[in-house]
């Protein structure tokens, strides 16, 4: 069964902390994505990766970075968390751009 897992369902951090959100997929997919979901704004793409060590900025990359050292793992990094990064973060993967994305359960991050 296809699976995308995220390291935490809920996370509370302080302003200025460095935050790591981990995502792992077991489907040998080429593409991996990080989105944030906010009420009324839908899903907004932060970063995506189409191959190991390859990454591309999405629509809202400011304040975030990513790492993909292995095909199955895609990490989202908040270098210095701020309150406006409080959100639901969704990770997804897909075989290619013509294929559907499979989503993880999400991480609800609160930055105090």
Partner 1 sequence: AQKVTQAQTEISVVEKEDVTLDCVYETRDTTYYLFWYKQPPSGELVFLIRRNSFDEQNEISGRYSWNFQKSTSSFNFTITASQVVDSAVYFCALSEAGDNFNKFYFGSGTKLNVKP
Interface with partner 1 (CB under 8 A): 31, 33, 35, 40-45, 48, 50, 56, 88, 90, 92, 96-106
Q: How far is the CB of 85 from partner 1 (least distance, A)?
A: 19
By C-beta, is 84 or 98 nearer to partner 1? 98
CA distance 24 to 5: 5
By C-beta, is 66 or 92 nearer to partner 1? 92
By C-beta, is 80 or 97 nearer to partner 1? 97
Burial 47-64 (b: 16+ CB within 10 A, else e): bbbeeeeebeebeeeeeb
Q: How far is the CB of 35 from partner 1 (least distance, A)?
A: 8
Q: How far is the CB of 100 from partner 1 (least distance, A)?
A: 4
Residue 81 contacts by C-beta under 8 Å, 6 or more apart in sequence? 13, 14, 15, 16, 17, 18, 19, 109, 111
Q: How far is the CB of 57 from partner 1 (least distance, A)?
A: 11
The dihedral region occupied by 106, where left means phi > 0, alpha psi between -120 and 50, and beta the remainder, is left
């Amino acid at each position: 069964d296809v699976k995308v897992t995220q390291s935490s369902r809920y996370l509370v951090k302080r302003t200025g902390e460095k935050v790591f959100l981990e995502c792992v997929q077991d489907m040998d997919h080429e593409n991996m994505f990080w989105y944030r979901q906010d009420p009324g704004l839908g899903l907004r793409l932060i970063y995506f990766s189409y191959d190991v060590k390859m990454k591309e900025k999405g629509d809202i990359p400011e304040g975030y970075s990513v790492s993909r050292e292995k095909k199955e793992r895609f990490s989202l990094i908040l270098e210095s968390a701020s309150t406006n990064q409080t959100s639901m973060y969704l990770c997804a993967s897909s075989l290619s751009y013509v294929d559907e994305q499979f989503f993880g359960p999400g991480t609800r991050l609160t930055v105090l």
